[in-house]
Structure 1
Amino acid sequence: MKKLSLPLFAIAAVSAFAQERTITGQVMDENGFPIAGASVFIHSSIISKEVAEPNIRNNAVGTITDVDGNYRLNIPKNLSQISISYDGFETETISISPQKNNYNVILTSYFAKGQLNLKDLVVTGYQKIDPNKVTSAVATVQMESIQQKGVAVVDQMLEGQIAGVNLQNSTGRAGELGNIQIRGISTLRGVSDPLWVVDDIPLEGNNTPDLSDKNNLDDLRSYSIAGINPEDIEKITVLKDASATSIYGARAANGVIVVTTKKGKKGKLNINLSSNTFVNFRPDAERINLMNSQQKVDFELELAKRKDLNYRSNNGSIARLLQKEGFLEAYQNGEALPSSIVSQLDVLRSNNLDWWKELYQTSINHQHTASASGGGDLHNFYISLAYYDEQGALKGTDYDRLNITLKNSFKLNEKLSIGINLFGASISQSSYLTDQGSFTNPNNYLRNVNPYQLIYDDNGNYAYDENINYIAKNNADFVKFNIIEERQNTRNQLNSLQLKGNFDLNYEIFKGLNYRSLFGIQLERNGNEKWASEDSYFSRIYRAGTRYFANGKQNYWLPSGGILQNFDTNNFHYLWRNNLEWQKSLGAHDVNLLAGMEIRKENTTFTNTKAFGYNDKTNQPTPIVFRNQTDATNSLYEAYKKIELENAYASFFGTASYTYDRRYTVFGSLRYDGSNLFGVDPKYRYLPIWSVSGAWNIHNERFMEYLKSISTLKLRASYGFQGNIDKTTSPIVIAQHQRAAVLPGASEDVLRVTSPPNAKLRWEKTENIGAGVELGLFHNRINLIIDYYERNSTDLITPSRLPLETGFAQTMVNFGAIKNQGWEFTLNTANIDTKNFHWSSSFNISKNKNIVKKVEFNTKNLNFPSGEAYPVDAIWLIRDAGLDSNGAPQFYNENGEIVSAVDFYQLSDPWAAFYPSFMVESGLSVDQRRAQYQYGGSRSPKWFGGLANHFRYKNWDLSINSSFVLGRKALANPAYNFTAVDPGVNYTRDILNTWKPNNKTTKNPRIIGQKTIPDGLVYNWFNSGDDFNTYLAFQSRVKELNYFRINSIRLGYSIPSEYLKNMGIRNFKLSVEGRNLFVFSNGYSGYFDPETYGNIYASPIQKSITFGLSLNF
């Protein structure tokens, strides 16, 4: 239904016609009941053609019906037609004759005609609801308003679009999902991602991993939602509160994202072609702020001159050069460098290799879609074929996807219809192996490699980096590493085949009562092959770990050759849902009842194989001859492993809705879920999930008749429960087969119990309380939505300590609790709406605060405080207090006094009488050390939201989508450890501004060795004694991030139709779009993007420009 926005001044202008008359009438529904609040108006296009008054041309004018459906409207005498519209009903346009002044109009609802207009109805995945009757916190966006070209997965387009939906990208890797939170976090260990639903079928396999470690490039993943082509999507609905999500039971505590895809419509064949070419630009090198060759050589000379430094003092090209020339001691005694050394240093200074260009790239990528749709009275269809190809920011990484979508619906007779929908996807992701040490991750290697390090030596052979892992080339332990060679000699390939299908049967038993049967399947096969040749660091370091000495020589029990690993995953999920729905309208009374049952099953098989001594030319491995049973049972050399998982669920559900006179609506839902994951104790076998809610459409009240400026005024309230599952736990005992030496000299097959039983383990649940108000002014030209909510999550599965006599350190119990509360504000406005120019805006802002109410100890890091009474995403800090007179850190104690590191940690040397300055220990207990951490803010923002503006001028259109984050705390990775500065690696330029006797005002600690400052305990503690690694958590490195991102700017031009009609083209549009071009922030130096601040392993979020065209025939 086409929605109209009528400004108040335009309504008032109806009395300003030069010659006018008055018409009256009544608006009713198909059952003869009056409709209050219906719009009776003269369309702007009719005014433009038939009315000469310049002050009202290009504006729609009209009135609304009173509580009895009556209207009275002044119109020009020569007017030929008027229009009548109301939400949930078809708009009617009637002809006006000069001889008649009374016109009664009957509007037909979409429900009565069986035509559910998706643009107006709220789709929950179980029902399609008239927005007038919605009692829940839901938000819907049309895909055409948020569409971004050159984006692989639809989740990226939601950033900043919907109040209460917070998306944060932990990586810029193509095809990767962002971390989405809907109204906060409701679990400590379970799934925290929302449930994705496509065409009424919930999808499995969309849980986002932690991508903040060194293995994030190796961890290629396939997500089921990534198999859906964004071009096939019609609209997205986000269900936020329990009233909307409880129908989904134990998977909906984190919210539900419902995707509705396009379908065929009655009419002529419709063909669409879309082609986009987008350029992803190489990341900005200056953001990392690394030293260049000149600065790095000078810095190494400065370190080499100091006798007090002993940490890896022999590492780095400068130290090796001075040692080779026998001049290190003389240089430390103040002698000038001879010309022979100076010339070699000048060569290093000139070797300013641009590692950015070697590792990163500007790439040209493609996205193409072709679709056809159409239909008649008995059949409609939608078919699409799409291809997407994006090369990653890192050279050697790539993401390819091929999609095919087939949708058919058949009306077999007046009562029976069926639908068959298939979504197929073939996804290929390419990378190379980067999981053998943090430096092999190229994003981190870039920060560490010396700028003078060459790729090739003078003979054209690979130049190996002997600084990166502190082993000289002439050392027997040296393992050759060159990151370009590694890229050429390793492969990490993930191939995914996905098939999703649903088969839908609808049968009208009698008028108002319908039976629906829905069967959905999800098939997915993932084959991940990791290969490393014999000439790769990956294979070399693997083999180096098997070195041993026998008969006076060095031997390896792992055969020479490459390594081939295969990780195959097969998923089969099915769902069968059957329900009856009865809806009836009796005068002012509307009733809707839904009842049904659902069964679903998940089967997953993991198969891992590993071959050593692999020859990629013959495809043959070499058998391993193990030295002993211990080596043979080491999981690193496990040749075969298979895991099978099966989870089954049975559910019963029902909803009931009652609406009186389109003013008052009450809604309730109930669902029972049962699963093999729980239920050892019958009391916890089924989880009841229920909700109640209500809405009051105040704008339909009689007393609102005279408040013409208020088009919509609605109050909502809801209460209910949601559920969640932690699939990593089990109420039964879990054991792993192993071989172990039970008696000396003999090994036996044993079962190692990894998780003790807990018959009382049960579902997690979340209590929801919510209220909202919706206000529309001036015929909804201004729409304001305000929501408040509280969410109390209890029975959260958390670890709990066990007595030592049980033989287990801990077990999983339902103990934890979290509280979330927040506000959401949404403002949509139609700022200007004329024939040739349109400008609309959408703004939203949200605030969420969460508190851990109950937890025994910290589930993320045992060294931290438990986190009780603090946010889930709390940052725990050591309160450092600047630098002391020697340039070493000092701290605030529990009384707020500034004390030295020795006093703060209560350091002492237990071997002082025998071997001074060799050992260090703290006099504090583990609990006392844990108590030293202080709360430093939350990683979740205080406020977040977005702003969108859409402009149209004649054939031009411009869309600007943006998002913002305020008050998010992040912890920067330290630029250096002041007791462990390695001369062999590069650093940011911050290290050039460290504390020195002539530079005491800096905040950067002094670089110290064991004898730099009077007390050697400080060096020993931060260099090797601090097992809590508190230096990583100094308060001085916490930053509050505030940033505003222009997500996309898209400019489009539609070729005028008069140039196309002779070519059979309905529409031809050209567009150009920029993504992530501008980020305005309070600073994020040292990182590519504020969203990935603190993550040194993250792939950059790239800027891009897309050139596109679309054709419609």
Structure 2
Amino acid sequence: MKKLPICTYRISLYLVFYVLFSPWLTEMVLADTRIKIEVMLRNGAFQSSVKGVVTNKEGEPLMGVTVQVASSKRGTITDLDGSFHIQANPNDSLIFSALGFRAQTVVVSGQKQIHVQLEEDVTQLDEVVLNAGYYTVSEKERTGNIAVIKAAVMEKQPVGNPLAAMQGHLSGVNIVQNTGVPGGSFEIAVRGRNFINGVSDPLFIVDGVPFGSQSLAASRVSSEIIGGGISPLNAINPNDIESIEVLKDADATAIYGSRAANGVVLITTKKGKSGKTRFDAHLSTSLGRASHFLDLMDTQQYLEIRMEGIANDGLADLLENPVFDFFWPDIKSWDNDRYTDWQQELIGGTAYRNNAQLSVSGGSVGTQFLVSGAYQKETTVFPGDANYRKANIHGNVNHRSENERFRMNFSTSYTHEDNRLPGADFTLKAYSLEPNAPAVYDDEGNLNWENNSWDNPLAALEENFEARINTLISNMLISYAIWPNLELKSSMGFTSYRLDTHRAMPSSARNPSLGLTPQNYSNLTTNASQRESWIVEPQLNWRERWNNFSLDMLVGTTFQQETTQQLVIRGRGFPNNELVHNLATAETLEIISDVDSEYRYSAVFGRINLNLSGRYILNLTGRRDGSSRFGPGKQFGNFGAVGLAWVFSEEPIFGESSLLSFGKLRGSYGTTGSDNIGDYRFLDTYTVSGDEYDGTTILEPTGIFNPQFGWESNRKLETAMELGFFKDRLLINTSWYRNRSSNQLVGIPLAATTGFPELRGNFDAVVENSGLEVDLRSVNVRSKGFKWSTNFNLTVPKNKLVAFDGLESSTFSNRYIIGQPLTIVKLYHALGVDTQTGIYQFEDYDGDGNISSSGDLEWVEDLAPKFYGGLGNSLTFGNVTLDVFFQFKKQKAYNTLRFDATPGFKGNVPVELFDRWQQPGDENPIQRASSGFTTVEDLGSYQQRSNAAVSDASFIRLRNISLNYKVPTFDNGLDVNVYLQGQNLWTLTDYTGPDPERPNNTRLPPLRQLTLGLQISF
């Protein structure tokens, strides 16, 4: 056989190789080519510039819309005029999304200009992200109870404290303002009072940093004028807040363990947004007046009652004897035709508040910043030049790396407050000063003492109270994505709260007839307090998704330390009143309080969240806490919760045409705790009394060692249903809860012979809070020229003492009853006025023939609200927006009889006491008049502690109204808003006291305020 040439073999081999391997080679070459093309695409080799504008259906530009390239993580945000600029491939798709609008995807298709109109979405529950503290969750998929108030609502209220902005807006959150004096305190309770003793305040966290809400004010320095304390939350500017979330049930709070028994309040401040640098200026001025005056007696009524009381006591003859004129100067010395409206004179002034704020924000997609500064000055309704000034600066920097693995957020705020007030609240004097009292100044402009016959109320202006407060809050959050689904992060925070107060009381503030001098009376009390805290919280978060199943795991640890110092010193005996502010010139110095304490806290916490098809959700949270506030063997506690949710509207039975657009059943159960009982309470403690014995300083015992001192526990149970109708235009959330607090830390008072004031320990007492909460949101009208939405919330709470072993034999037997709320008061049962004697009558419960506190205080009244809530409506007509919010409460409270029940005493009283008994047979509700100078039977003090002194104090209050006008401008980059706001403008109530929400005759009620403001953005 003839051999073929060698070249023929080679050609044949090549053909076989080509036939067998060419598809693989072709694929390899194509794959390599694709990789190169993808790299080139990522590097922008084939990309072009795409510009455009995003508007709503009315053609108004939308700022802050996220524009993202679907094939990458690259994105941008629209500017003030709705414009955007981004690099994209010809075949890419752009995703446009913004809160409150339906997301829209647009294919570039080689276009250079794209105009997009976004349609409004009523709620978009998937995109409403709630801050749950250590994690975030969409409103649709949350398993816990989280109430939220946004900046848009707070900005419409002329208030200086975040708690004031929250009043009435959140179900399950009851907030009461203690005083109308600027810088005063508030009371807040989330789902009621859980503990017999101790603090009811929730845990406050500002940008991830725990912030102490308890005042460091000393009672001997400031309690009278400031209303029980100075709220540290005054340092947080409401205009700097983006949102406030309140965590209420076990699922939401258990991850905070021992600090969450009373709920958690999360305050998130504003952050910068990418885009052009934006300047925002905010100017406002407010006028404030006392919201209500009491109906008091005029001069003729007052003198008639006074003379009648003197006659009833058999002292008419002494009235004619000049020797006894000093007993009744209001009758014998003062002008009986004179009348002064002391409410108008002492609390009838106008308070002015001026507020200015400027902020700068902006940045790129990777780095955003915000810096804002604000200044506020507020006066009071009192006479004099008292004022409150506050200046604060807030800054935030947010950065993420180009590959989005590294993220950093730093926020800080610093606030300086200077509160200068008179030495006393004039409110009590305004209610009680005689209507014919002399003029406050004589003809020469000096304080008029009218021959030393009265205490001139304006002498309190000679006294001085001042509080200087410096607050620093800073936080840094650093995170790094080790893998796409594994993130390591750490939160680090530091807070410093410094309070310096003093109260100067010169002898010139007292009646000269007392013979007081700077050497024997003038005194100065100072309080220097500081609280510093640092916290570090490393965390590891892992997320994974498999088809319809997702898993989210979080584990972290907490290290926190807090130190508190307080030094209260009183100086006495000054050379003269001009030196009363200089402690170095005092003759004697007395240390009232010297506190130096340290609190250490550590914890390990975790969360596991399982989500199946977006329908079935399981959330597990847990925490193990360690606190230095408990003794050996009792320092650690375990807390945890389970939350379940079924989004049944995702089931196939509910289609697109269903009226029910959203439906969810959820429930939770778990435990939280409390260590908010002060430092070193389990140890033997002593204090320096300030007294001496034979030249030796005396130590007084204040606490007894108790090694069994342990955690308080709070078990929380909740079930809830959330419904949405008409594509979520109507949302209704209903929750039922029951919290049971046990292992109560109670201070049992001890007999004085023991040498100790009380024994604090855990007692087998159980307090239960249960209730129903309803939240409703609706979009009633949504058209091109008119929008109308409504918000409504209702809370029906119930509190009771379930168990307390040995209550009947304890010192608490006169305060609490098993089965009754902790908020009850025990009173005498008033039976009216005896028609023959004209004296108040009361039920003799123990049948011993006498009325006494030991056996006849058996009438029970509950002073807690039966229900409370709020109703708000927002209406927009073109460029005009009107917001109206009403707050309501159903409750009882002490009326004016609590403070005055017997007519005829020296000092003015409400005119209702004029309807008194005068002769046998009269059936008037007020007993006979009395001068108060004799031992004639007078049961007025019993009437003040009877059920007659309690009446209905329900109210509906126009808490806030806001009218905003957006001024049309030719320059699209300029936004101008003019607004008029009112706070506490009108109250519908049958209550006749100073204020139904804070019925206290000794403190100034919250003011009625009207604010005019201007906002400019460019």
Contact kept, 8 Å, 2:346 with 2:427, in 1: the verdict is no
8 Å Cα contact 2:227-2:1003 kept in structure 1: no
Distance 1:47 1:385 in 2: 36
For 2:228 and 2:181, the matched residues in 1 are separated by: 10
Look up the match of 1:1104: 1009
Does the Cα contact within 8 Å between 2:371 and 2:395 map onto a contact in 1?
A: yes
Give the partner amino acid of 2:397.
N
1:587 maps to which residue?
Answer: 547
Partner of 1:509: 482
Deviates more, 1:154-163 or 1:851-860: 851-860
| Secondary structure of 1:703's aligned partner | coil
Cα distance in 2 for partners of 1:295, 1:516 equals: 73
Shift of 1:252: 1.1
TM-score normalised per structure 1: 0.76
Partner residue of 1:417? 407
- Contact between 1:612 and 1:622, CA under 8 Å: does it hold in 2? no
1:834 pairs with 770, 783, 790, which one?
783
Secondary structure at 2:649 match in 1: helix
Structure-to-structure mapping, 1:650-729, within 5 angstroms: 650-680=602-632, 682=633, 684-705=634-655, 708-728=658-678
Q: Residue deviations 1:336-384, cap 9 Å, x none? A: xxxxx99988943134365522443113321111111111133110110
Which of 350, 356, 365 in structure 2 is aligned with 1:368?
Answer: 356
2:849 alignment partner, SS class: helix
The corresponding residue for 2:865 is: 941
- Mapped partners of 2:670, 2:213: distance in 1: 27
Q: Does 1:887 align with 2:838?
A: yes
In the aligned structure 2, how far is the partner of 1:621 from the partner of 1:87? 58
Aligned-pair distance for 1:117?
Answer: 12
Give a deviation string over 1:642-700, Cα, whole Å, max 9, x none: 321111101111111000011111001111111110033x1x22011100011001111
- Equivalent AA in structure 1 for residue 558 of structure 2: E
Which amino acid letter does the alignment assign opposite residue 692 of structure 1? V
Contact 1:974 1:1037 in 2 (8 A): yes
Asked if 1:870 corresponds to 2:858, the answer is no
Match of 1:960 in 2: 884
Task: Indicate whether 1:1090 and 2:996 are aligned.
Answer: yes
Query: Are the structure 2 counterparts of residues 212 and 646 from structure 1 closer, same or farther at C-alpha, using a change threshold of 3 Å?
Result: closer
Conserved 8 A contact 2:449-2:511: no
Secondary structure of 2:535's partner? strand
Matched, 1:1044 2:949: no
Once the 2 structures are TM-superposed, how far is the Cα of residue 224 of structure 1 from its aligned partner? 3.2
Structure 1: distance between partners of 2:787 and 2:423: 52
Q: What is the distance in 1 between the residues matched to 2:229 and 2:330?
A: 50
Structure 1 pair 748–210 and aligned structure 2 pair: CA distance change class (3 A): closer
Residue 989 (structure 1) aligned with residue 916 (structure 2): no
Q: What SS is found at the alignment partner of 2:441? A: coil
Alignment-derived partner of residue 322 in structure 2? 324
Matched, 1:395 2:415: no
Q: Per the alignment, in what secondary structure is the counterpart of residue 152 of structure 2?
A: helix
Change (3 A) 1:1035 1:639: closer
Contact 1:539 1:563 in 2 (8 A): no
Aligned counterpart, 2:180? 172
CA contact (8 A) 2:222 2:229 kept: no
Matched with 1:18 is none
Distance in 2 (CA, whole Å) between partners of 1:323 and 1:962 is: 58
TM-superposition CA deviations, 1:796-851 (whole Å, max 9, x none): 11133679997657411211320011000111110000011000001111111010
Aligned to 1:229: 237
Q: 1:740 to 1:279 in 2, by over 3 A?
A: closer
Contact 1:1046 1:1077 in 2 (8 A): yes
- Determine if contact 2:154/2:239 at 8 Å carries over to the other structure: no
Candidates 592, 597, 606, aligned match of 2:566: 606
SS at match of 1:702: coil
Determine whether 1:448 maps to 2:432: yes
Give the CA deviation at 1:727: 2.4
Identity %: 22
Q: 1 CA distance for matches of 2:376 and 2:550?
A: 47
- The amino acid that maps onto 1:954 is G
CA contact (8 A) 2:99 2:127 kept: no
The one-letter code matched in structure 2 to 1:481 is: D
Cα distance, 1:131 vs. partner? 2.5
**Gap change, CA 1:502 and 1:47, over 3 Å in 2:** closer
Partner of 2:166: 158
Q: Is the aligned partner of 1:559 residue 2:519?
A: yes
**Could you tell me which amino acid in structure 2 is paired with residue 687 of structure 1?**
G
The answer to whether the 8 A contact 1:150-1:367 is kept is no
CA distance in 1, matches of 2:690, 2:190: 46
Gap change, CA 1:747 and 1:616, over 3 Å in 2: closer
Which among 505, 508, 511 is matched to residue 535 of structure 1? 508
Give the whole-Å Cα distance in 2 for the aligned partners of 1:839 and 1:690: 42
- CA gap of 1:211–1:141, structure 2 versus 1, over 3 A, is farther
Contact 1:87 1:132 (C-alpha < 8 Å) held by counterparts: no
Q: Cα 1:48–1:86, aligned 2, differ >3 Å: closer, same or farther? A: closer
Which secondary structure state, in structure 2, belongs to the residue aligned with residue 1092 of structure 1? coil
Quote how far apart the aligned CAs of 1:751 are. 3.7
CA contact (8 A) 2:221 2:503 kept: no
Alignment equivalent of 2:449, drawn from 457, 464, 481: 464
Does 2:977 align with 1:1069? yes
Opposite residue 510 of structure 1, the aligned amino acid is W
Q: Which residue of 1 aligns with 2:34?
A: none
Whole-angstrom CA distance in 2 between matches of 1:828 and 1:123: 20
Q: 1:132 to 1:963 in 2, by over 3 A?
A: same
Q: Secondary structure at the match of 1:444?
A: helix
Which of 104, 115, 128 matches 1:92? 104
Deviation at 1:977, TM superposition (A): 4.6
Give per-residue Cα distances to partners, 1:994-1031, cap 9 Å, x unaligned. 1111671211112358999xxx8xx45848xxxxx644
Q: Is the 8 A contact 2:305 2:904 kept in 1?
A: no
The 3-state SS of whatever aligns with 2:732 is: strand
2:190 match: 182
In structure 2, distance between residues paired with 1:860 and 1:703? 60
Deviation at 1:395, TM superposition (A): 3.1
User: Closer, same or farther in 2 for the Cα pair 1:646/1:213, shift >3 Å?
Assistant: closer
Inter-partner Cα distance in structure 2 for 1:1011 and 1:903? 26
Question: Residue 120 in 1 paired to residue 128 in 2?
Answer: yes
Q: 1:119–1:1076: structure 2 CA closer, same or farther, 3 Å change rule? A: farther
SS at match of 2:362: strand
> Is residue 769 from structure 1 mapped to residue 717 from structure 2 by the alignment?
yes
Cα 1:1037–1:224 change in 2 (3 A) is closer
Q: Could you give the per-residue CA deviations for residues 59-97 of structure 1, whole angstroms, max 9, x where no partner exists?
A: xxxxxxxxxxxxxxxxxxxxxx99998999981233699
Q: Deviations over 1:151-178 (max 9, x none)?
A: 1111111122111111222322223342
1:357 — aligned with what? 345
Question: Cα RMSD (Å) of the superposition?
Answer: 3.7
The letter for the 1-side match of 2:759 is: T
Q: What amino acid sits opposite 1:1041 in the alignment?
A: A
Equivalents in 2 of 1:605, 1:864: separation in Å? Answer: 36
Q: TM-score, normalised by structure 2?
A: 0.82
1:241 aligns with 2:249: yes
Q: Between Structure 1 and Structure 2, how many residues are aligned?
A: 910
Deviations for 1:194-236, whole angstroms, at most 9, x for unmatched residues? 2222112121134699999994315674433221111111112
Gaps of 5+ in 1: 1-43, 50-80, 98-115, 332-340, 435-440, 467-471, 474-479, 545-555, 626-631, 906-921, 923-928, 1024-1028
- C-alpha contact 1:602 1:648 (8 A) present in aligned 2: yes
Instruction: Report if the CA contact (8 A) 2:626-2:635 is conserved.
Output: yes
Paired with 1:708 and 1:499, the residues of 2 have a C-alpha distance of: 52
- Which residue of 417, 434, 440 maps to 1:427? 417
Give the residue type in structure 1 aligned to 2:964. Answer: G
